[in-house]
């Protein structure tokens, strides 16, 4: 990995662990094993580097979600595969956690990939639900947009509850609850 890649990967890890305010350029440089000159050769500053790190994290989240949501099976099966995928629940969502960082939310260049990713996820889930409706897999009372928003809200809330309780149990319960509600709307 070259210096630029090490900087981006270090920033990604630190943003997830400490947030934007808690991540200093010096800490990023130390973790990446590069000097200040190397950082400023590749990036104009902390915000530019953080933006690259957030965009990469967002891109990876979208790619993982899309692969699972595009897989085989019914709409509920594909959403279940996404919700049940392996993840580090107690660390929280690497994108969703950034919404709690006031500096990220106040900086348009940093906020944009967070906002776009969560909007994309809601839209992609709504698309899968629409496909389920079109195939007759789901009851016609299912509203794809509001249901997709509820799924994302339950997922992000599940992370928060799990972190607060220091156990994955609330997250697992949130996922089970969403899937039970979707299953109740499945046409048999």
Cβ contacts of 72 within 8 Å, gap of 6 or more: 78
As a whole number of angstroms, the distance between CA 27 and CA 10 comes to 9
On the question of pLDDT at 157 being above 80, the answer is yes
pLDDT digits (tens, 9 = 90+) for 98-108: 999 999 999 99
Distance of CA 175 to the CA centre of its chain: 15
Tell me the average pLDDT across 24-45. Answer: 94
Q: Which CATH class is domain 3-184?
A: mainly alpha
Q: What is the model's pLDDT at position 1?
A: 74
Classified as helix, coil or strand, 31 is helix
pTM: 0.93
As a whole number of angstroms, the distance between CA 161 and CA 168 comes to 8
Q: What is the model's pLDDT at position 15?
A: 94
Q: What is the model's pLDDT at position 188?
A: 81
Mark 66-88 as b/e (b = at least 16 C-beta within 10 Å): eebbeeeebbbbbbbebbeeebe
């Amino acid at each position: 990995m070259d210096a630029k890649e090490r900087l981006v990967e270090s920033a990604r890890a630190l943003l997830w662990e400490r947030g934007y305010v808690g991540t200093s350029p010096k800490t990023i440089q130390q973790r990446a094993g590069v000097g200040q000159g190397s950082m400023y050769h590749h990036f104009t500053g902390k915000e530019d580097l953080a933006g690259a790190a957030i965009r990469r994290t967002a891109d990876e989240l979208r790619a993982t979600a899309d692969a699972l949501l595009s897989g085989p099976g019914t709409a509920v099966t594909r959403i279940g595969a996404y919700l049940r995928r392996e993840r580090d629940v107690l660390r929280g969502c690497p994108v969703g956690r950034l919404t709690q960082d006031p500096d990220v939310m106040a900086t348009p260049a940093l906020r944009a990939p967070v906002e776009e990713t969560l909007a994309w996820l809601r839209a992609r889930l709504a698309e899968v639900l629409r496909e389920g409706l079109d195939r007759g897999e789901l009851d016609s009372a299912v509203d794809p947009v509001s249901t997709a928003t509820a799924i994302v809200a339950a997922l992000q809330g599940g992370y928060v509850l799990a972190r607060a309780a220091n156990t994955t149990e609330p997250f697992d319960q949130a996922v089970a609850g969403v899937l039970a509600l979707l299953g109740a709307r499945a046409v048999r």
